[in-house]
Amino acid sequence: MDYLKDYFGLGGKVAIITGGNTGIGMVSEINLTQVAT
């Protein structure tokens, strides 16, 4: 899971833009929401 933390930490917003409606896009969106709050 460390690679996920690094991935979202470095490019969470990029993942949403590039991921779109894919699984990774949805996951990154959830992570950003949790971090924001």
pLDDT in tens, 1-37: 455 555 556 555 555 555 555 555 556 666 666 665 5
Which of 9-32 are b and which e, b meaning 16 or more Cβ less than 10 Å from the residue's Cβ?
eeebeebbeeeeeeeeeebbeebe
List the helix and strand counts (H, then E) for the chain.
2, 0
Return d(Cα 37, Cα 5) in angstroms, integer.
17
Q: How many domains does the chain have?
A: 1
In this prediction the pTM is: 0.19
What pLDDT does 17 receive?
52
Question: Containing domain of residue 27, as a range?
Answer: 2-36
Dig out the tokens for 20 from the structure.
């779109």
The pLDDT, as a whole number, for residue 11 is 53
The 10 Å Cβ neighbour count of residue 8 is 20
